Structure 1
Amino acid sequence: MSKTLATVNGKTITDADIDVLLSTLPPQQAATYSSPEARKNILEELIAHELFYFDAQDNNLEEDEGFQKELEIAKEKLMKSYQIGSLLRKVTISDEATENFYNESPENFQEQPQFSAKHILVATKEEHDDLMKQLDEGADFSELAKNHSTCPSKDRGGDLGTFAKGQMVKEFDDALETMEVGETRGDVKTTYGYHIVQLTDKTGGRTIPYEEVKDKIKQYLLTNEQNELFVNKVAELKSKYPVLYMD
Protein backbone atom coordinates (compact mmCIF):
# COMPACT_ATOMS: atom_id res chain seq x y z
CA MET A 1 0.00 0.00 0.00
CA SER A 2 1.31 3.41 -0.96
CA LYS A 3 2.38 5.71 1.84
CA THR A 4 0.45 8.97 2.34
CA LEU A 5 2.85 11.91 2.25
CA ALA A 6 0.49 14.87 2.56
CA THR A 7 -3.11 16.02 2.22
CA VAL A 8 -4.22 19.25 0.57
CA ASN A 9 -7.70 20.42 1.46
CA GLY A 10 -8.55 16.79 2.16
CA LYS A 11 -7.02 15.40 -1.05
CA THR A 12 -4.29 12.79 -0.48
CA ILE A 13 -0.84 12.80 -2.09
CA THR A 14 1.06 9.50 -1.86
CA ASP A 15 4.40 7.94 -2.71
CA ALA A 16 2.71 6.45 -5.77
CA ASP A 17 1.87 9.93 -7.08
CA ILE A 18 5.58 10.79 -7.08
CA ASP A 19 6.41 7.50 -8.82
CA VAL A 20 3.80 8.18 -11.51
CA LEU A 21 5.31 11.61 -12.16
CA LEU A 22 8.83 10.15 -12.38
CA SER A 23 7.65 7.46 -14.79
CA THR A 24 6.86 10.18 -17.34
CA LEU A 25 10.49 11.38 -17.35
CA PRO A 26 13.40 9.93 -19.36
CA PRO A 27 15.25 7.30 -17.26
CA GLN A 28 18.39 9.42 -16.84
CA GLN A 29 16.40 12.42 -15.68
CA ALA A 30 14.23 10.33 -13.35
CA ALA A 31 17.37 8.87 -11.75
CA THR A 32 18.36 12.35 -10.55
CA TYR A 33 15.26 12.41 -8.32
CA SER A 34 16.07 9.24 -6.38
CA SER A 35 17.32 10.95 -3.21
CA PRO A 36 14.91 11.74 -0.32
CA GLU A 37 15.59 15.47 -0.74
CA ALA A 38 14.73 15.35 -4.44
CA ARG A 39 11.51 13.43 -3.76
CA LYS A 40 10.62 16.02 -1.12
CA ASN A 41 10.98 18.75 -3.77
CA ILE A 42 8.63 16.81 -6.05
CA LEU A 43 6.14 16.50 -3.20
CA GLU A 44 6.20 20.29 -2.76
CA GLU A 45 5.56 20.67 -6.49
CA LEU A 46 2.56 18.32 -6.33
CA ILE A 47 1.22 20.22 -3.31
CA ALA A 48 1.55 23.49 -5.21
CA HIS A 49 -0.41 22.03 -8.14
CA GLU A 50 -3.22 20.91 -5.85
CA LEU A 51 -3.34 24.35 -4.23
CA PHE A 52 -3.76 25.98 -7.62
CA TYR A 53 -6.46 23.43 -8.48
CA PHE A 54 -8.54 24.32 -5.45
CA ASP A 55 -7.93 28.00 -6.05
CA ALA A 56 -9.19 27.57 -9.63
CA GLN A 57 -12.34 25.88 -8.34
CA ASP A 58 -13.01 28.66 -5.84
CA ASN A 59 -12.64 31.23 -8.60
CA ASN A 60 -15.08 29.38 -10.92
CA LEU A 61 -12.40 28.82 -13.57
CA GLU A 62 -14.69 26.40 -15.42
CA GLU A 63 -16.88 29.35 -16.37
CA ASP A 64 -13.96 31.33 -17.80
CA GLU A 65 -14.23 31.71 -21.59
CA GLY A 66 -10.49 31.21 -22.17
CA PHE A 67 -10.52 28.05 -20.07
CA GLN A 68 -13.50 26.71 -21.99
CA LYS A 69 -11.60 27.13 -25.27
CA GLU A 70 -8.52 25.39 -23.86
CA LEU A 71 -10.73 22.63 -22.48
CA GLU A 72 -12.33 22.06 -25.87
CA ILE A 73 -8.92 21.85 -27.56
CA ALA A 74 -7.67 19.40 -24.93
CA LYS A 75 -10.86 17.35 -25.22
CA GLU A 76 -10.48 17.14 -29.00
CA LYS A 77 -6.86 15.98 -28.72
CA LEU A 78 -7.77 13.41 -26.09
CA MET A 79 -10.64 12.05 -28.17
CA LYS A 80 -8.39 11.66 -31.20
CA SER A 81 -5.62 9.87 -29.36
CA TYR A 82 -8.06 7.72 -27.39
CA GLN A 83 -9.95 6.67 -30.52
CA ILE A 84 -6.74 5.76 -32.33
CA GLY A 85 -5.50 3.89 -29.27
CA SER A 86 -8.78 1.99 -29.01
CA LEU A 87 -8.42 0.92 -32.63
CA LEU A 88 -4.79 -0.20 -32.30
CA ARG A 89 -5.44 -2.07 -29.08
CA LYS A 90 -7.67 -4.45 -31.03
CA VAL A 91 -4.56 -5.95 -32.63
CA THR A 92 -3.07 -8.95 -30.86
CA ILE A 93 -0.31 -11.27 -32.01
CA SER A 94 -0.47 -14.92 -31.01
CA ASP A 95 2.50 -17.04 -30.05
CA GLU A 96 1.63 -19.25 -33.01
CA ALA A 97 1.92 -16.33 -35.46
CA THR A 98 5.22 -15.31 -33.92
CA GLU A 99 6.65 -18.82 -34.18
CA ASN A 100 5.38 -19.23 -37.74
CA PHE A 101 7.17 -16.05 -38.79
CA TYR A 102 10.39 -17.35 -37.23
CA ASN A 103 10.12 -20.73 -38.97
CA GLU A 104 9.13 -19.29 -42.35
CA SER A 105 11.94 -16.72 -42.62
CA PRO A 106 15.09 -18.36 -41.20
CA GLU A 107 17.31 -16.02 -43.23
CA ASN A 108 16.30 -13.19 -40.90
CA PHE A 109 17.73 -14.95 -37.88
CA GLN A 110 21.23 -15.84 -39.00
CA GLU A 111 23.95 -14.31 -36.86
CA GLN A 112 26.85 -13.08 -38.96
CA PRO A 113 30.12 -14.86 -38.23
CA GLN A 114 32.95 -12.96 -36.57
CA PHE A 115 36.48 -13.53 -37.80
CA SER A 116 39.87 -12.86 -36.25
CA ALA A 117 42.65 -12.94 -38.81
CA LYS A 118 46.09 -11.82 -39.87
CA HIS A 119 47.20 -11.10 -43.38
CA ILE A 120 50.17 -10.14 -45.49
CA LEU A 121 49.44 -7.86 -48.43
CA VAL A 122 51.85 -7.49 -51.35
CA ALA A 123 51.56 -5.96 -54.79
CA THR A 124 52.82 -8.76 -57.05
CA LYS A 125 52.35 -12.49 -57.50
CA GLU A 126 56.12 -12.96 -57.36
CA GLU A 127 56.31 -11.42 -53.87
CA HIS A 128 53.34 -13.50 -52.79
CA ASP A 129 54.88 -16.76 -54.03
CA ASP A 130 58.20 -16.01 -52.35
CA LEU A 131 56.52 -15.36 -49.00
CA MET A 132 54.38 -18.51 -49.30
CA LYS A 133 57.57 -20.49 -49.86
CA GLN A 134 59.11 -18.98 -46.73
CA LEU A 135 55.99 -19.85 -44.71
CA ASP A 136 56.13 -23.42 -46.00
CA GLU A 137 59.71 -23.56 -44.80
CA GLY A 138 58.69 -22.50 -41.30
CA ALA A 139 59.03 -18.71 -41.33
CA ASP A 140 57.04 -16.76 -38.72
CA PHE A 141 53.86 -15.23 -40.19
CA SER A 142 53.93 -12.10 -38.01
CA GLU A 143 57.59 -11.39 -38.79
CA LEU A 144 56.98 -11.68 -42.51
CA ALA A 145 54.00 -9.34 -42.21
CA LYS A 146 56.09 -6.75 -40.34
CA ASN A 147 58.85 -6.87 -42.93
CA HIS A 148 56.92 -7.23 -46.19
CA SER A 149 53.21 -6.32 -45.92
CA THR A 150 52.03 -3.04 -47.46
CA CYS A 151 48.99 -2.87 -45.14
CA PRO A 152 49.15 -0.63 -42.02
CA SER A 153 48.37 -3.78 -40.02
CA LYS A 154 52.00 -4.81 -40.56
CA ASP A 155 52.86 -2.88 -37.38
CA ARG A 156 50.77 -5.47 -35.51
CA GLY A 157 52.27 -8.42 -37.35
CA GLY A 158 49.42 -8.34 -39.86
CA ASP A 159 46.75 -8.63 -37.15
CA LEU A 160 43.39 -7.30 -38.41
CA GLY A 161 41.62 -7.86 -35.09
CA THR A 162 38.05 -9.16 -35.02
CA PHE A 163 35.48 -8.18 -37.63
CA ALA A 164 32.12 -9.33 -38.98
CA LYS A 165 31.40 -10.80 -42.34
CA GLY A 166 30.87 -7.98 -44.83
CA GLN A 167 33.41 -5.61 -43.32
CA MET A 168 36.12 -6.83 -45.68
CA VAL A 169 36.05 -7.12 -49.46
CA LYS A 170 34.12 -10.10 -50.84
CA GLU A 171 37.16 -12.13 -51.90
CA PHE A 172 38.60 -11.83 -48.38
CA ASP A 173 35.29 -12.89 -46.78
CA ASP A 174 34.88 -15.81 -49.18
CA ALA A 175 38.31 -17.15 -48.27
CA LEU A 176 37.72 -16.85 -44.52
CA GLU A 177 34.35 -18.62 -44.69
CA THR A 178 35.93 -21.78 -46.09
CA MET A 179 39.01 -21.79 -43.84
CA GLU A 180 39.64 -23.65 -40.60
CA VAL A 181 40.97 -21.85 -37.53
CA GLY A 182 44.77 -21.90 -37.69
CA GLU A 183 44.84 -22.35 -41.46
CA THR A 184 46.98 -20.13 -43.69
CA ARG A 185 45.91 -19.55 -47.27
CA GLY A 186 47.47 -17.66 -50.15
CA ASP A 187 46.30 -16.51 -53.56
CA VAL A 188 43.56 -14.29 -52.16
CA LYS A 189 43.47 -11.64 -54.88
CA THR A 190 41.60 -8.35 -54.33
CA THR A 191 41.79 -4.87 -55.79
CA TYR A 192 44.41 -4.12 -53.13
CA GLY A 193 46.82 -6.81 -54.27
CA TYR A 194 47.71 -10.35 -53.18
CA HIS A 195 46.84 -11.48 -49.67
CA ILE A 196 48.15 -14.31 -47.58
CA VAL A 197 45.54 -14.91 -44.89
CA GLN A 198 45.76 -16.66 -41.54
CA LEU A 199 42.50 -17.33 -39.70
CA THR A 200 43.14 -17.16 -35.95
CA ASP A 201 39.55 -17.45 -34.66
CA LYS A 202 35.97 -17.73 -35.87
CA THR A 203 32.76 -17.33 -33.86
CA GLY A 204 29.07 -16.89 -34.57
CA GLY A 205 27.47 -17.88 -37.82
CA ARG A 206 24.68 -19.54 -35.83
CA THR A 207 20.93 -19.46 -36.16
CA ILE A 208 19.61 -17.26 -33.34
CA PRO A 209 17.28 -19.36 -31.11
CA TYR A 210 13.58 -18.52 -31.18
CA GLU A 211 13.49 -17.67 -27.48
CA GLU A 212 16.05 -14.89 -27.99
CA VAL A 213 14.03 -13.10 -30.66
CA LYS A 214 10.37 -13.95 -30.04
CA ASP A 215 9.64 -10.65 -28.26
CA LYS A 216 11.18 -8.64 -31.11
CA ILE A 217 9.24 -10.68 -33.68
CA LYS A 218 5.98 -10.12 -31.81
CA GLN A 219 6.62 -6.37 -31.66
CA TYR A 220 7.50 -6.30 -35.37
CA LEU A 221 4.31 -8.15 -36.32
CA LEU A 222 2.24 -5.99 -33.97
CA THR A 223 3.59 -2.76 -35.45
CA ASN A 224 2.98 -3.97 -39.02
CA GLU A 225 -0.59 -5.06 -38.32
CA GLN A 226 -1.38 -1.87 -36.43
CA ASN A 227 -0.04 0.23 -39.32
CA GLU A 228 -2.12 -1.74 -41.80
CA LEU A 229 -5.23 -1.42 -39.63
CA PHE A 230 -4.65 2.33 -39.24
CA VAL A 231 -4.22 2.90 -42.99
CA ASN A 232 -7.31 0.85 -43.83
CA LYS A 233 -9.39 2.65 -41.21
CA VAL A 234 -8.32 6.06 -42.54
CA ALA A 235 -9.35 4.98 -46.06
CA GLU A 236 -12.72 3.83 -44.71
CA LEU A 237 -13.30 7.08 -42.84
CA LYS A 238 -12.37 9.16 -45.90
CA SER A 239 -15.28 7.55 -47.70
CA LYS A 240 -17.55 8.49 -44.81
CA TYR A 241 -16.38 12.04 -44.07
CA PRO A 242 -15.53 14.45 -46.95
CA VAL A 243 -11.86 15.42 -47.24
CA LEU A 244 -11.00 18.36 -49.49
CA TYR A 245 -7.39 19.13 -50.45
CA MET A 246 -6.72 22.80 -51.15
CA ASP A 247 -4.11 23.85 -53.74
Structure 2
Amino acid sequence: MTRTRAVRMAICAAVLTTPIVLSAQGGPVLARAALDGRPVSVTTEDVKLEVLLLRRAGNAAAYASVDSLEPVLSRVLTRKLLAAEAARQHIDRDPMVTTYMVRSSDAALVDSLTGRVGAAVDTSEAAVKTFFEAHADQFRSAPRRKVRHIVVPTEADAKAAREAIAGGATFETVARARNTDKTRESGGDLGWFAQGSMVKAFDDVVFAAEKGAVAGPVQTAMGWHLVLVEDVDAGSLPPLPLVRDKVIEAMRQDAMAQLTKRLVDEAKPVIDRAALEELLK
Protein backbone atom coordinates (compact mmCIF):
# COMPACT_ATOMS: atom_id res chain seq x y z
CA MET A 1 0.00 0.00 0.00
CA THR A 2 1.40 3.43 -0.95
CA ARG A 3 1.89 6.14 1.66
CA THR A 4 -0.79 8.30 -0.01
CA ARG A 5 -3.24 5.42 0.08
CA ALA A 6 -2.44 4.79 3.74
CA VAL A 7 -3.06 8.42 4.63
CA ARG A 8 -6.35 8.38 2.76
CA MET A 9 -7.48 5.25 4.56
CA ALA A 10 -6.45 6.76 7.91
CA ILE A 11 -8.57 9.83 7.26
CA CYS A 12 -11.56 7.74 6.33
CA ALA A 13 -11.21 5.44 9.33
CA ALA A 14 -10.67 8.26 11.79
CA VAL A 15 -13.50 10.48 10.59
CA LEU A 16 -16.19 8.18 9.29
CA THR A 17 -16.16 5.60 12.06
CA THR A 18 -16.36 8.12 14.90
CA PRO A 19 -19.55 9.99 15.90
CA ILE A 20 -19.25 13.65 14.96
CA VAL A 21 -19.23 15.52 18.26
CA LEU A 22 -17.29 18.50 19.51
CA SER A 23 -14.37 17.55 21.73
CA ALA A 24 -11.61 19.26 23.62
CA GLN A 25 -9.21 16.52 22.48
CA GLY A 26 -7.46 16.91 19.16
CA GLY A 27 -7.23 13.23 18.31
CA PRO A 28 -4.71 11.71 15.90
CA VAL A 29 -2.84 14.14 13.66
CA LEU A 30 -3.77 13.76 9.99
CA ALA A 31 -1.48 16.43 8.53
CA ARG A 32 1.57 18.35 9.76
CA ALA A 33 3.33 21.52 8.60
CA ALA A 34 5.51 24.27 10.11
CA LEU A 35 6.00 28.03 9.78
CA ASP A 36 9.15 29.54 11.33
CA GLY A 37 9.57 26.30 13.21
CA ARG A 38 6.10 26.55 14.75
CA PRO A 39 4.02 23.42 14.10
CA VAL A 40 0.72 23.59 12.25
CA SER A 41 -1.36 20.42 12.36
CA VAL A 42 -4.78 19.09 11.42
CA THR A 43 -6.34 16.48 13.70
CA THR A 44 -9.29 14.15 13.31
CA GLU A 45 -11.33 16.51 15.49
CA ASP A 46 -10.57 19.40 13.14
CA VAL A 47 -11.88 17.43 10.17
CA LYS A 48 -14.87 16.05 12.08
CA LEU A 49 -15.90 19.58 13.09
CA GLU A 50 -15.52 20.81 9.51
CA VAL A 51 -17.68 17.93 8.25
CA LEU A 52 -20.28 18.66 10.93
CA LEU A 53 -20.53 22.29 9.82
CA LEU A 54 -20.74 21.30 6.16
CA ARG A 55 -23.50 18.82 6.89
CA ARG A 56 -25.42 21.42 8.85
CA ALA A 57 -25.18 23.64 5.80
CA GLY A 58 -27.24 21.11 3.87
CA ASN A 59 -24.79 18.46 2.69
CA ALA A 60 -26.15 15.66 4.88
CA ALA A 61 -25.17 12.82 2.57
CA ALA A 62 -21.83 14.26 1.50
CA TYR A 63 -18.37 13.65 2.89
CA ALA A 64 -18.87 9.92 3.27
CA SER A 65 -15.78 8.80 1.35
CA VAL A 66 -12.03 9.36 1.38
CA ASP A 67 -12.18 11.21 -1.94
CA SER A 68 -14.67 13.70 -0.50
CA LEU A 69 -12.72 14.13 2.75
CA GLU A 70 -9.32 14.96 1.25
CA PRO A 71 -10.47 18.42 0.03
CA VAL A 72 -11.91 19.04 3.50
CA LEU A 73 -8.56 18.22 5.08
CA SER A 74 -6.77 20.49 2.60
CA ARG A 75 -9.21 23.34 3.32
CA VAL A 76 -8.68 23.03 7.09
CA LEU A 77 -4.90 22.94 6.67
CA THR A 78 -4.94 25.98 4.38
CA ARG A 79 -7.05 27.92 6.88
CA LYS A 80 -4.65 27.03 9.71
CA LEU A 81 -1.64 28.10 7.66
CA LEU A 82 -3.31 31.44 6.88
CA ALA A 83 -4.19 31.90 10.56
CA ALA A 84 -0.58 31.16 11.50
CA GLU A 85 0.59 33.77 8.99
CA ALA A 86 -1.86 36.29 10.49
CA ALA A 87 -0.41 35.58 13.94
CA ARG A 88 3.12 35.94 12.54
CA GLN A 89 2.10 39.43 11.38
CA HIS A 90 0.66 40.11 14.87
CA ILE A 91 -2.82 40.65 13.45
CA ASP A 92 -4.17 38.73 16.44
CA ARG A 93 -3.12 41.67 18.65
CA ASP A 94 -5.42 44.12 16.88
CA PRO A 95 -8.17 45.10 19.39
CA MET A 96 -10.93 44.74 16.81
CA VAL A 97 -9.64 41.30 15.83
CA THR A 98 -9.44 40.28 19.47
CA THR A 99 -13.05 41.35 20.00
CA TYR A 100 -14.12 39.40 16.92
CA MET A 101 -12.26 36.30 18.16
CA VAL A 102 -14.04 36.48 21.51
CA ARG A 103 -17.36 36.90 19.74
CA SER A 104 -16.62 33.91 17.51
CA SER A 105 -15.77 31.87 20.59
CA ASP A 106 -19.10 32.86 22.16
CA ALA A 107 -20.93 31.88 18.98
CA ALA A 108 -19.24 28.47 18.94
CA LEU A 109 -20.26 27.85 22.56
CA VAL A 110 -23.85 28.91 21.90
CA ASP A 111 -23.97 26.70 18.81
CA SER A 112 -22.74 23.74 20.82
CA LEU A 113 -25.19 24.47 23.65
CA THR A 114 -28.05 24.72 21.15
CA GLY A 115 -27.12 21.34 19.74
CA ARG A 116 -27.04 19.75 23.18
CA VAL A 117 -30.34 21.28 24.24
CA GLY A 118 -31.92 20.08 21.02
CA ALA A 119 -30.50 16.59 21.40
CA ALA A 120 -31.97 16.35 24.90
CA VAL A 121 -35.53 17.03 23.69
CA ASP A 122 -37.88 14.07 23.98
CA THR A 123 -38.80 13.20 20.39
CA SER A 124 -40.82 10.09 21.13
CA GLU A 125 -44.03 9.69 19.16
CA ALA A 126 -46.09 10.56 22.24
CA ALA A 127 -44.09 13.74 22.96
CA VAL A 128 -44.21 14.89 19.34
CA LYS A 129 -47.96 14.26 19.16
CA THR A 130 -48.56 16.18 22.40
CA PHE A 131 -46.57 19.20 21.19
CA PHE A 132 -48.26 19.09 17.78
CA GLU A 133 -51.72 19.15 19.32
CA ALA A 134 -50.81 21.89 21.82
CA HIS A 135 -49.34 24.12 19.09
CA ALA A 136 -51.65 23.21 16.22
CA ASP A 137 -51.98 26.80 14.98
CA GLN A 138 -48.22 26.89 14.43
CA PHE A 139 -48.50 24.17 11.79
CA ARG A 140 -51.83 25.06 10.23
CA SER A 141 -51.70 26.43 6.70
CA ALA A 142 -52.55 30.14 6.51
CA PRO A 143 -56.12 31.17 5.66
CA ARG A 144 -56.56 32.15 2.01
CA ARG A 145 -59.01 34.17 -0.02
CA LYS A 146 -59.82 34.21 -3.74
CA VAL A 147 -60.33 37.84 -4.62
CA ARG A 148 -61.21 40.28 -7.38
CA HIS A 149 -60.62 43.98 -6.93
CA ILE A 150 -61.45 47.28 -8.51
CA VAL A 151 -58.74 49.92 -8.16
CA VAL A 152 -59.35 53.55 -9.10
CA PRO A 153 -57.58 56.87 -8.38
CA THR A 154 -59.98 58.47 -5.88
CA GLU A 155 -62.45 57.53 -3.16
CA ALA A 156 -65.20 59.16 -5.22
CA ASP A 157 -64.32 56.87 -8.14
CA ALA A 158 -64.51 53.86 -5.82
CA LYS A 159 -67.93 54.91 -4.51
CA ALA A 160 -69.15 55.39 -8.08
CA ALA A 161 -67.97 51.86 -8.90
CA ARG A 162 -69.86 50.50 -5.89
CA GLU A 163 -73.01 52.32 -7.03
CA ALA A 164 -72.65 50.73 -10.46
CA ILE A 165 -72.49 47.28 -8.84
CA ALA A 166 -75.47 48.09 -6.63
CA GLY A 167 -77.32 49.11 -9.78
CA GLY A 168 -76.92 45.65 -11.27
CA ALA A 169 -73.55 45.61 -13.02
CA THR A 170 -71.33 42.65 -12.21
CA PHE A 171 -68.14 43.24 -10.26
CA GLU A 172 -66.09 41.78 -13.13
CA THR A 173 -67.71 44.09 -15.69
CA VAL A 174 -67.03 47.18 -13.61
CA ALA A 175 -63.43 46.07 -13.02
CA ARG A 176 -62.88 45.62 -16.77
CA ALA A 177 -64.26 49.10 -17.41
CA ARG A 178 -62.60 51.06 -14.60
CA ASN A 179 -59.48 49.34 -13.24
CA THR A 180 -56.25 51.30 -13.52
CA ASP A 181 -53.89 48.33 -13.09
CA LYS A 182 -53.03 45.30 -15.23
CA THR A 183 -55.87 43.21 -13.75
CA ARG A 184 -58.30 45.26 -15.83
CA GLU A 185 -58.18 42.66 -18.63
CA SER A 186 -59.00 39.81 -16.22
CA GLY A 187 -61.84 41.64 -14.50
CA GLY A 188 -59.78 42.45 -11.42
CA ASP A 189 -58.81 38.83 -10.75
CA LEU A 190 -56.11 38.58 -8.05
CA GLY A 191 -56.50 34.83 -7.57
CA TRP A 192 -55.77 33.12 -4.26
CA PHE A 193 -53.49 34.67 -1.66
CA ALA A 194 -52.65 33.87 1.96
CA GLN A 195 -53.40 36.10 4.91
CA GLY A 196 -50.56 38.53 5.54
CA SER A 197 -49.24 38.51 1.98
CA MET A 198 -50.81 41.84 0.94
CA VAL A 199 -50.40 45.32 2.42
CA LYS A 200 -52.10 45.45 5.82
CA ALA A 201 -54.99 47.81 5.00
CA PHE A 202 -55.99 45.70 2.00
CA ASP A 203 -55.39 42.42 3.84
CA ASP A 204 -57.51 43.47 6.82
CA VAL A 205 -60.51 44.33 4.63
CA VAL A 206 -60.26 41.13 2.59
CA PHE A 207 -60.02 38.77 5.56
CA ALA A 208 -62.79 40.52 7.47
CA ALA A 209 -65.22 40.03 4.56
CA GLU A 210 -67.51 37.03 4.05
CA LYS A 211 -67.59 34.93 0.91
CA GLY A 212 -69.51 36.76 -1.82
CA ALA A 213 -69.25 40.12 -0.10
CA VAL A 214 -68.07 43.34 -1.73
CA ALA A 215 -65.92 45.29 0.74
CA GLY A 216 -64.26 48.69 0.73
CA PRO A 217 -63.37 51.20 -0.38
CA VAL A 218 -59.91 50.91 1.14
CA GLN A 219 -56.88 53.02 0.23
CA THR A 220 -53.39 51.73 -0.58
CA ALA A 221 -50.44 53.21 -2.46
CA MET A 222 -52.05 51.96 -5.69
CA GLY A 223 -55.27 53.89 -5.18
CA TRP A 224 -58.75 53.14 -3.83
CA HIS A 225 -60.01 49.56 -3.90
CA LEU A 226 -63.24 47.62 -3.77
CA VAL A 227 -62.80 43.89 -3.19
CA LEU A 228 -64.98 40.89 -3.95
CA VAL A 229 -64.25 37.75 -1.93
CA GLU A 230 -65.08 34.93 -4.35
CA ASP A 231 -64.00 31.99 -2.21
CA VAL A 232 -62.64 31.20 1.25
CA ASP A 233 -60.09 28.66 2.51
CA ALA A 234 -59.92 28.73 6.30
CA GLY A 235 -56.59 26.89 6.36
CA SER A 236 -56.05 23.30 7.41
CA LEU A 237 -53.93 21.26 9.79
CA PRO A 238 -51.78 18.76 7.88
CA PRO A 239 -51.41 15.18 9.16
CA LEU A 240 -48.64 14.86 11.75
CA PRO A 241 -46.47 12.51 9.62
CA LEU A 242 -46.19 15.20 6.94
CA VAL A 243 -44.84 17.82 9.34
CA ARG A 244 -43.09 15.64 11.93
CA ASP A 245 -39.64 17.10 11.17
CA LYS A 246 -41.01 20.65 11.49
CA VAL A 247 -42.64 19.75 14.79
CA ILE A 248 -39.39 18.35 16.19
CA GLU A 249 -37.50 21.45 15.07
CA ALA A 250 -40.16 23.61 16.75
CA MET A 251 -39.79 21.54 19.93
CA ARG A 252 -36.05 22.18 19.94
CA GLN A 253 -36.54 25.89 19.34
CA ASP A 254 -39.08 25.97 22.16
CA ALA A 255 -36.63 24.26 24.52
CA MET A 256 -33.98 26.85 23.66
CA ALA A 257 -36.47 29.69 24.13
CA GLN A 258 -37.39 28.35 27.57
CA LEU A 259 -33.72 28.13 28.53
CA THR A 260 -33.11 31.69 27.33
CA LYS A 261 -36.06 33.01 29.34
CA ARG A 262 -34.88 31.18 32.45
CA LEU A 263 -31.38 32.64 32.11
CA VAL A 264 -32.67 36.19 31.60
CA ASP A 265 -34.99 35.84 34.60
CA GLU A 266 -32.11 34.52 36.69
CA ALA A 267 -29.51 37.06 35.56
CA LYS A 268 -31.81 40.11 35.83
CA PRO A 269 -29.82 42.18 33.29
CA VAL A 270 -29.74 45.98 33.65
CA ILE A 271 -29.36 48.08 30.50
CA ASP A 272 -27.48 51.38 30.70
CA ARG A 273 -29.56 53.53 28.33
CA ALA A 274 -27.34 56.56 28.91
CA ALA A 275 -24.36 54.58 27.64
CA LEU A 276 -26.39 53.55 24.61
CA GLU A 277 -27.18 57.18 23.89
CA GLU A 278 -23.48 58.04 24.12
CA LEU A 279 -22.76 55.29 21.61
CA LEU A 280 -25.00 57.02 19.08
CA LYS A 281 -23.25 60.38 19.39
Q: CA offset at residue 197 of structure 1?
A: 0.7
Distance 1:189 1:219 in 2: 40
- Is 1:171 matched with 2:109? no
CA, structure 1 residues 216+79, in 2 after alignment: closer, same or farther (shift >3 Å)? same
Aligned to 2:189: 159
Distance 1:83 1:169 in 2: 46
Mapping 1:76-155, distance limit 5 Å:
76-81=14-19, 93-155=123-185
- Is 1:180 matched with 2:118? no
CA, structure 1 residues 215+74, in 2 after alignment: closer, same or farther (shift >3 Å)? closer
Q: CA offset at residue 207 of structure 1?
A: 3.7
- Is 1:74 matched with 2:17? no
Contact 1:120 1:148 in 2 (8 A): yes
Q: CA offset at residue 149 of structure 1?
A: 1.2
Q: TM-score w.r.t. structure 1 length? A: 0.55
Instruction: Return 5+ residue gaps in structure 2 as ranges.
Output: 23-47, 49-115, 256-281
User: SS at 2:236's partner residue?
Assistant: coil
- Kindly provide the amino acid, as one letter, of the partner of residue 100 in structure 1: T
Distance 1:134 1:119 in 2: 14
Higher RCO, Cα 8 Å, sep 6+: 1
Let me know the Cα RMSD of the aligned residues. Answer: 3.2
Contact 1:145 1:157 in 2 (8 A): yes
Q: CA offset at residue 184 of structure 1?
A: 1.0
Higher Rg of the two aligned structures: 1
Contact 2:183 2:189 in 1 (8 A): yes
- Kindly provide the amino acid, as one letter, of the partner of residue 77 in structure 1: V
Distance 1:69 1:211 in 2: 44
Q: CA offset at residue 167 of structure 1?
A: 2.4
User: SS at 2:229's partner residue?
Assistant: strand
Distance 2:151 2:178 in 1: 8
Distance 1:82 1:124 in 2: 64
Distance 2:5 2:254 in 1: 40
Q: CA offset at residue 66 of structure 1?
A: 4.1
Q: CA offset at residue 129 of structure 1?
A: 1.5
- Kindly provide the amino acid, as one letter, of the partner of residue 105 in structure 1: H
Per-residue CA deviation, residues 56-104 of structure 1 (Å, 9 max, x unaligned), is xxxxx3xx4444333333322234447789xx9x876212221232233
Contact 2:176 2:187 in 1 (8 A): yes
Distance 1:104 1:196 in 2: 38
Q: TM-score w.r.t. structure 2 length? A: 0.49
Aligned to 1:214: 244
